[in-house]
């Protein structure tokens, strides 16, 4: 159980008002400040003989799927986003170009390279995460139009998918079996995570629910987001965590409370 903490509705209200004053009618997406994560080196073990663990050449550098102990594999739905977001800033600060390869993920560190497999047709691609999303329960990654074309997703819109995080080769290690790739790996499951309860059109509804949840969770926050399809939304997020595992427990607790559409997102 997370500790109870008195909650000041007035403080949340003032926070929302301040953000409104700063953002005005801004149409930009929120830019995320990535938290630096410790980098470690690892050697691909001999036992990995699966052909799916072959290296990928990206801009002259080799990337390998990470061993399970240090890696990240996820199953769910893949979707794509296009014209209405074209030319708008991504969470990384880069401008979204639907005709170039990129992707959005809820929790992986920005800059992470992932392999995306469309399980409905077994087509795959490799792409870099530079944005946050998709903000829908069950969808694990949003692809740019160019990336979606590579995996045959444009017409279908949504498909079953598997994503695998890749690590960059930064050297070779001599061994009795020959030269082994040495990979550079950052933390994929540590950082700052929260659980998003919902996105409300009416500020009053977000504030009302925040007041209720403030006596249960030690972190409650309302942020403003200009959605390309729905306009200004008030996102309600609770329960700040340092690991994905901890955030997952908070997500399950909220599901048990009736918030079936709650999902984890990285700050």
127 and 97 assigned to the same domain: yes
Q: Where are the alpha helices (DSSP H) in 109-190?
A: 145-150
One domain for residues 223 and 246: yes
Domain match, 206 and 127 both: no
Q: Which of 2-11, 30-39, 47-56, 199-208 has the lowest mean pLDDT?
A: 2-11
pLDDT for residue 13: 43
Q: Are residues 139 and 78 in the same domain?
A: yes
Tell me: the pLDDT tens digits for 170-195?
Answer: 888 887 777 888 888 888 999 999 99
61 with 180, same domain?
Answer: yes
**Within a domain: residue 114?**
yes
Q: Which residue has the higher pLDDT, 43 or 135?
A: 135
| 197 and 179, same domain (yes or no) | no
What is the extent of the structural domain holding 246?
A: 9-32+189-266
pLDDT of residue 96: 96
Residue that wins the pLDDT comparison between 98 and 27: 98
pLDDT digits (tens, 9 = 90+) for 76-99: 999 999 999 999 999 999 999 999
Output phi, psi for 29, to 5 deg. -80, 155
Give 59's pLDDT tier (boundaries 50, 70, 90).
confident
> Model's pTM, two decimal places?
0.82
Indicate whether 2 belongs to any domain: no
Percent of the chain scoring above 70 in pLDDT: 81
* CA–CA separation, 105 and 187 (whole Å): 15
Residue 159 sits in the same domain as residue 248: no
In this predicted structure, what is the pLDDT of residue 19? 40
CA distance linking residue 254 with residue 250, whole number of Å: 6
Same domain for 102 and 209? no
Are 166 and 232 in a shared domain?
no
Read off the CATH number of the domain in which 138 is found.
2.40.40.10
Is the domain of 204 the same as that of 257? yes
Q: Are residues 170 and 221 in the same domain?
A: no
Dump pLDDT digits (tens) for 102-156.
999 999 999 999 999 999 999 999 999 999 999 999 999 999 999 999 999 999 9
In this model, does residue 41 exceed pLDDT 90?
no
Would residue 3 count as lying in a domain? no
Residue 121 tokens, joined:
């047709």
Residue in 41, 16, 39, 131 with CA at minimum distance from that of residue 80:
131
Q: Is residue 150 part of a domain?
A: yes
Whether 161 and 208 share a structural domain: no
pLDDT > 90 fraction of the chain, expressed in percent and rounded:
63
Burial of 70 (0-12, 13-18, 19+ CB in 10 A): middle
Identify the pLDDT of residue 6: 41
How many domains is the chain partitioned into structurally?
2
CATH of the domain at 26: 3.30.70.1070
Asked whether 145 and 112 are in contact (CB, 8 A), the reply is no
Alpha-carbon distance of 181 to 51, in angstroms, equals 15
């Amino acid at each position: 159980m997370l500790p109870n903490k008195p909650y000041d509705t007035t403080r949340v209200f003032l926070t929302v008002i301040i953000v409104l004053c700063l953002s005005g009618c801004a149409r930009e997406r929120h830019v995320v400040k990535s938290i630096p994560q410790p980098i470690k080196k690892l050697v691909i073990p001999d036992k990995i003989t699966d052909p799916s663990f072959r290296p990928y050449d990206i801009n002259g550098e080799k990337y390998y799927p990470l061993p399970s102990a240090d890696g990240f594999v996820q199953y769910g739905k893949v979707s794509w986003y296009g014209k209405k977001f074209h030319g708008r800033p991504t969470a990384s600060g880069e401008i979204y170009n639907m005709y170039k390869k990129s992707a959005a993920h809820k929790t992986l560190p920005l800059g992470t390279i992932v392999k995306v497999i469309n399980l409905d047709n077994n087509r795959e691609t490799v792409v870099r995460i530079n944005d946050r999303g998709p903000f829908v329960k069950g969808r694990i990654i949003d692809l740019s139009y160019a990336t979606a074309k590579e995996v045959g997703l444009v017409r279908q819109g949504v498909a079953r998918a598997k994503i695998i995080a890749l690590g960059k080769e930064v050297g070779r290690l001599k061994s009795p079996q020959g030269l082994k790739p040495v990979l550079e790996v950052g933390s994929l499951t540590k950082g700052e995570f929260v659980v998003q309860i919902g996105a409300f059109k009416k500020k009053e509804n977000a504030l009302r629910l925040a007041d209720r949840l403030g006596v249960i969770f030690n972190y409650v926050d309302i942020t403003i987001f200009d959605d390309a399809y729905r306009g200004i939304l008030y996102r309600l997020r609770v329960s700040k965590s340092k690991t994905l595992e901890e955030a997952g427990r908070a997500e399950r607790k909220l599901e048990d409370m009736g918030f079936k559409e709650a999902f984890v997102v990285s700050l």
